[in-house]
A = this chain, B = another copy of it.
Amino acid sequence: MGMIGGGKDAFIGAIHRIAANMDGQIELVCGALSMHADIAQESGRMLFLDQDRIYNTYDEMFKAEVQKPANERMDFVTIVTPNFAHFAPAMQALENGFNVVIEKPITFTLEEAQKLKQKVKETGLMLLLTHTYAGYPMVKEAKQLIKSGKLGKVRKIYVEYIQGWLSRLSEREGNAQASWRTDPSKSGKSGCMGDIGTHAAHLAEYISGLKITELNASLNIVVDGRMLDDDGAVLLRFEEGATGTLIASQVAAGEENALKIRVYGENGSLEWAQMEPNTLTVKWLDKPAEILRAGSGYTDRLSSYATHNCRTPGGHPEGYLEAFGNLYRNFALTLSAKIAGEEPKKEWLDFPSIEDGIRGMAFINNVVASNESNEKWTKYTI
């Protein structure tokens, strides 16, 4: 694995490295870790990279790596730069024959995402989009439970993603994370909805298996002086007649990272909350609620998707980093199978990719369009 961005002090780059390291299958071998050469160099040394594989630019990195014999060059590259700087290196990676891991949102605009999709298709290379929450075993269980039909036809989906960390104008107080995320030139046309609303929308579509078809959005800039939405709510219509709501806020003082989803079918419902991720609550219309637990012994009741994505027995909590690690692990297992000319297992293939990226960008576009419209409902278009 090579890495673009993610130099020392960058938050998400460090997370990616932990996730990739976790299962001993992936090794960071090279990087263009910062647009500042000195930081790139220092960061590379801190990560024990070979000196000749610490690159100052990704351009340089692709040129050098592609020259190496296949079994020595990096197998894929991870792009963890701010949103506006995803597209160019991703395209270049694909053009040079490298598989790509990319932080969400996939690009700065939907158009870029479409181009990337085209390139992925052309090259046959793999792309992992790190919608972390889809890596949790009990999220996968939720998806399979809906798919099984046990809860009946889906009627309602409530999803919410509530944070409080932007309750003050932190971007003016030297908070680097806050700074680029609230800057339209770096983050894109939406703040809160782009950053976390997209996670919520992805989770809703992933678990329910239903696509959003119409939406009715209202975005707010709650903190004076901010340039992008820091809060919003969206009424949703899904395929097959389901309806729902999506709430996202970054100004909900006192909240940490409260992503939660509830899906109601005709016979019962499920509830999952990211902050206690090893539990999936299933409530039934006609019988007591059940608590499904990751890693538990009743493996006949859990899908193979859930069990494949656990590392420890029940009661040994796995968390955000393990969920992130699951994305990398499944990507790596699939890549290894591909390299070995073997058929990857269906559980390995269950990681977010280019289509999820397209829908993420479209979600942002549609939410912003709806917010600007006086019409109640806006058709979801791509």
In the complex, which of the residues B15, B235, B264, B322 contacts A319, with contact meaning CB atoms closer than 8 Å? B322
Q: Using a Cβ–Cβ cut-off of 8 Å, how many residues does chain A contribute to the interface with B?
A: 87
0/1 interface trace, chain A 294-318, chain B, CB 8 Å (1 if under): 0111100100000000011111111
A296 pairs with B256, CB closer than 8 A: yes
The residue in chain B whose Cβ has the minimal distance to the Cβ of A281 is B291
Identify which of A275, A295, A313, A319 gathers the most chain B CB atoms within 10 Å of its CB: A319
Known A253-B265, A291-B288; contact A321-B315, beta-carbon cutoff 8 A: no
Chain B positions within 8 Å of A316 at CB level: 257, 319-321
Asked if A268 is at the interface (CB within 8 A of a chain B CB), the reply is yes
Which B residues are in CB contact (< 8 Å) with A276? 276, 317
CB distance from A241 to the nearest CB of B (A): 8
Q: A321-B311, A321-B318 are in contact. Are A252 and B275 (CB under 8 A)?
A: no
A21 to B322 alpha-carbon distance, docked (Å): 13
- In the bound complex, residues from chain B placing their C-beta under 8 Å from that of A185 are none
B257 and A314 contacting across the interface, CB-CB below 8 Å: yes
- Contact digits for A263-292, partner B, Cβ 8 Å, 1 yes 0 no: 011111100001111100011111111111
Q: Which residues of A contact B (CB under 8 A)?
A: 14-15, 17-18, 21-24, 28, 47-48, 151-152, 155-156, 158, 160, 163-165, 167-168, 216, 218, 220, 222, 231, 233, 235, 243, 245, 247, 249, 251-258, 262, 264-269, 274-278, 282-293, 295-298, 301, 311-322, 373-377
23 contacts between A and B (CB under 8 A): A21-B22, A21-B24, A155-B222, A156-B249, A156-B251, A164-B264, A165-B297, A168-B285, A218-B376, A251-B264, A252-B264, A253-B265, A253-B266, A254-B268, A254-B282, A254-B285, A255-B264, A255-B269, A257-B313, A257-B315, A290-B291, A316-B320, A317-B320
The 9 closest A-B pairs by CB, nearest first: A254-B283, A256-B315, A257-B315, A317-B319, A316-B320, A256-B314, A288-B290, A319-B319, A253-B285
